[in-house]
Structure 1
């Protein structure tokens, strides 16, 4: 092959099989869990579907908490496997109320699992993980948490909280690749997964993937996604070098700075204070301003602003401060760009006050 057509990515070195177990251990430390860690050579949505497919069967009742369009997928996957699903729907672009979850547990005492998203990147809300996990644990209900976006951005102590299944992806707060993901599985979750009628001989079967654990955590089944795992190791190196507490603090600071910057600008953050995601801050557009017109007014600024996703989020703008974007320059750029777009549309925006509000979190 001519040299100018050769691509080193086509001849990537094989990821050493003995390092898969080490990667799983590093992820377990981030999650603060001694539970089993399964590795998926796929984007995290496949891992989420695998969890629901492995739990779903006739006779299983699950409560599915829906706070975004993605949460609705969980219920569909569970029903496809024959499970009885109780849907607990939050108000549009609002977190679920912990008391509503407890009431649902009381109304359905035969519930065996509850599934929900921790922090929503679709609309910027943060669900009450601690309260839900405690209520579920008190009733012996297996807790399944979509922590794909929240891991690294919010505190997540799986063992202390009693989270039975946590699905994570490194592409958000960990600033890693999107093509791999992981699932932590507790003994209680394994008992539910291994009950009669468990899914087998499927890429969506957790039991089939458990064979990797039982065989000593060597090479993963199938063709190794070497580049993705090398990239994951690099992301974990960065995360560990910065330190978990520092990464959490950086995301929390970025979220507070973005929120206060928007308020100073004259904008309205949509997520309730204390129940807002550290990954994105969402702002509601002024009445009469369309999303297309707003984004067009800011397109030349090349910032990380995008429309909200799902019912009720049609007029929400997301300011992204996830992963490496959770820094002063990104937060300031997004807040200022929001104000510039408003001004370009002939609306008032106190950009100087907004900049000062953001800078207050990074002074010194």
Structure 2
């Protein structure tokens, strides 16, 4: 009989049911939220669709801020459920302007839900979350925040900001698995979700997931994937050992050092620091140069530089300093590889000055 070998991943023990509640509480601590925490056994885009599917129904009115494909999808999901949706579409690849939000709120007699993405890894921008949430709170509007790319990279205090639904995925700044996600749900959000009946018997039903909370969080519905939850535990162990404030500071330093290196290199950045994400730094490709050729040249050095995603991002490249990449070695490699790619394409780039600037940023 042939030896088929043994893979220990095939024999993973079940994740203990009593640890789901503790896991949810740890996520609540990172979110700084005392609201209900739900665990979703899928990547974060499923949790986002579940939020839209659970809220949407005829008669619901929503203001949906679009700064990437994710915002576009969320609006489509709401409309699919019968909601009336007004999109605020930002300039391509740019954060939304607060004046546009004020104008849209003033033009709408009633808004039930306001949805937006906090930080966009697609284009490296940061939306003005506190200002937008302040406007929503003043109007008694339930807020939905996609914090998948911001948690751990930026300050995020769900209760202090008054976020009603925050959706997270641990695969970004937390450096965890992509196959599990979570969300916090406030009492106001539950009132809206459960009003007039809520969708049931679906993987997209938050009302179904609420039965776990109502049943003293004894065991998740469905068949949990133990590998994902063990991996999430390990990621949270790392975050708690480092300290969330230190994780955020590490990402802020990586972003600042990247920008300093690019400035010394002679390369512009896409948006000013106040409007930029700490997860990736986007750079506009110089005219007459092809993004694909720069990506390929960096790849020969073993460095992954990626193209921007979404409308207006075709001419952008992204330098990734997310999660474990938010470190001196990666920041230096990113900028040096980009500079080398520029020089190979015949464009000037001061790599020595860039290296010095990054080293100085990390020496302070």
TM-score normalized with structure 1 length: 0.98
State how far apart, in whole Å, the 2-side matches of 1:101 and 1:2 are. Answer: 66
State how far apart, in whole Å, the 1-side matches of 2:67 and 2:304 are. Answer: 23
State the match for 2:103 in structure 1.
103
Distance apart, 1:238 and its partner CA: 0.3
Distance apart, 1:235 and its partner CA: 0.3
SS in 2 for 1:274: helix
Q: How does 1:87-126 map to 2 (within 5 A)?
A: 87-126=87-126
State the match for 1:167 in structure 2.
167
Distance apart, 1:273 and its partner CA: 2.4
State how far apart, in whole Å, the 1-side matches of 2:127 and 2:324 are. Answer: 23
Query: CA-to-partner distance for each residue in 1:107-160, whole Å, 9 max, x for gaps?
Result: 113100011100000000000110011110111000100001100110000000
Query: CA-to-partner distance for each residue in 1:181-235, whole Å, 9 max, x for gaps?
Result: 0010000000000011421111101001000001111221111110000000000
CA RMSD in angstroms, aligned pairs only: 1.1
State how far apart, in whole Å, the 2-side matches of 1:93 and 1:259 are. Answer: 18
State how far apart, in whole Å, the 2-side matches of 1:57 and 1:361 are. Answer: 51
SS in 2 for 1:228: helix
1:93–1:271: 8 Å Cα contact kept in structure 2?
A: no
Deviates most, 312-321 or 216-225? 216-225
Q: How does 1:1-364 map to 2 (within 5 A)?
A: 4-363=4-363
State how far apart, in whole Å, the 2-side matches of 1:49 and 1:304 are. Answer: 30
State how far apart, in whole Å, the 1-side matches of 2:204 and 2:156 are. Answer: 25
State how far apart, in whole Å, the 1-side matches of 2:156 and 2:240 are. Answer: 16
2:298–2:304: 8 Å Cα contact kept in structure 1?
A: no
Distance apart, 1:347 and its partner CA: 1.2
Structure 1 runs not aligned, ≥5 long? none
Query: CA-to-partner distance for each residue in 1:30-54, whole Å, 9 max, x for gaps?
Result: 0001000000010000000000000
Q: How many residues align?
A: 364
1:144–1:164: 8 Å Cα contact kept in structure 2?
A: yes
Distance apart, 1:295 and its partner CA: 1.4
State how far apart, in whole Å, the 1-side matches of 2:146 and 2:302 are. Answer: 30
Distance apart, 1:304 and its partner CA: 3.0
SS in 1 for 2:355: helix
1:144–1:166: 8 Å Cα contact kept in structure 2?
A: yes
State how far apart, in whole Å, the 2-side matches of 1:2 and 1:28 are. Answer: 49
TM-score normalized with structure 2 length: 0.98
State how far apart, in whole Å, the 1-side matches of 2:274 and 2:353 are. Answer: 23
SS in 2 for 1:134: helix
